[in-house]
A and B are shown apart, each in its own frame.
Chain A
Amino acid sequence: SAVISQKPSRDICQRGTSLTIQCQVDSQVTMMFWYRQQPGQSLTLIATANQGSEATYESGFVIDKFPISRPNLTFSTLTVSNMSPEDSSIYLCSVETATNTEAFFGQGTRLTVV
């Protein structure tokens, strides 16, 4: 299994600003992902965080809005840039290890943009 620590757990931000969310895993993992869960909605994959290279974004998500870093096998960040109220969501980090066929999730970051 993998234990995931996400920071911050929640934040209230002003529109037009940016927030960086951190995801730290207690062991090396093969894959890291970022999801968004809008209020009352399901989870939608934003991107796959690739170690040492640019993230792979899903349709509808772009690097300028959601820059992602993954400098090593245990850490990744997601930045929500130039925020608007529509960005108010829970953002979740997910990982998959080499030995498990399941994804583990962090507790999520509840973002409110005012």
Chain B
Amino acid sequence: GNSVTQMEGPVTLSEEAFLTINCTYTATGYPSLFWYVQYPGEGLQLLLKATKADDKGSNKGFEATYRKETTSFHLEKGSVQVSDSAVYFCALEGNQGGKLIFGQGTELSVKP
């Protein structure tokens, strides 16, 4: 079946450091891929998405490219801020629309 694997956290970085959170997936067909973010005490929010191979999703300085050849959707940001501290979830939506399969989540902590 479909699955998503994320790098384990927690990840601790200093402000302005480069961020990569790895995400790989297993799926039949051509899934859509998402990154969701959960800030402390808040609900889950969509950060970015990509719906087909080689698409790049971007938002708030974060980017991720849908790589079908490596079945990956790694999240990157060139310079993190303290306000980026949150839990990040990689997810895929397969052929059954709307049903998301989530990775285990990666907690990011950015120190000033």
Instruction: Say which residue of A31, A41, A43, A94 sits within 8 Å of B97 (CB atoms).
Output: A31
Is A48 an interface residue when CB atoms closer than 8 A count as contact? yes
Do A106 and B98 touch (CB < 8 A)?
Answer: no
Is B89 an interface residue when CB atoms closer than 8 A count as contact? yes
Interface size on B, as a range, is 20 to 34
- Count contacts on A: residues with CB < 8 A to the other chain: 21
Do A102 and B46 touch (CB < 8 A)?
Answer: yes
Within 8 A of B (CB), among A1-58: 30-31, 33, 35, 41-45, 48
Do A106 and B99 touch (CB < 8 A)?
Answer: no
Is A107 an interface residue when CB atoms closer than 8 A count as contact? yes
Within 8 A of A (CB), among B5-63: 32, 34, 36, 42-46, 49, 51
Residues of A within 8 Å of B105, CB to CB, are 41-42
Do A48 and B99 touch (CB < 8 A)?
Answer: yes
Residues of A within 8 Å of B101, CB to CB, are 45
Across the interface, name the chain B residue whose C-beta is closest to A105: B44
Do B102 and A33 touch (CB < 8 A)?
Answer: no
Residues of B within 8 Å of A48, CB to CB, are 98-99
Residues of chain A at the chain B interface (Cβ within 8 Å): 30-31, 33, 35, 41-45, 48, 92, 94, 96, 101-108
Residues of chain B at the chain A interface (Cβ within 8 Å): 32, 34, 36, 42-46, 49, 51, 89, 93, 97-105
Apart from A31-B97, A48-B98, A96-B98: 17 A-B pairs, beta carbons within 8 A: A30-B98, A31-B98, A35-B100, A41-B104, A42-B102, A45-B100, A45-B101, A48-B99, A101-B32, A101-B49, A102-B49, A103-B93, A103-B98, A105-B36, A105-B44, A107-B42, A108-B43
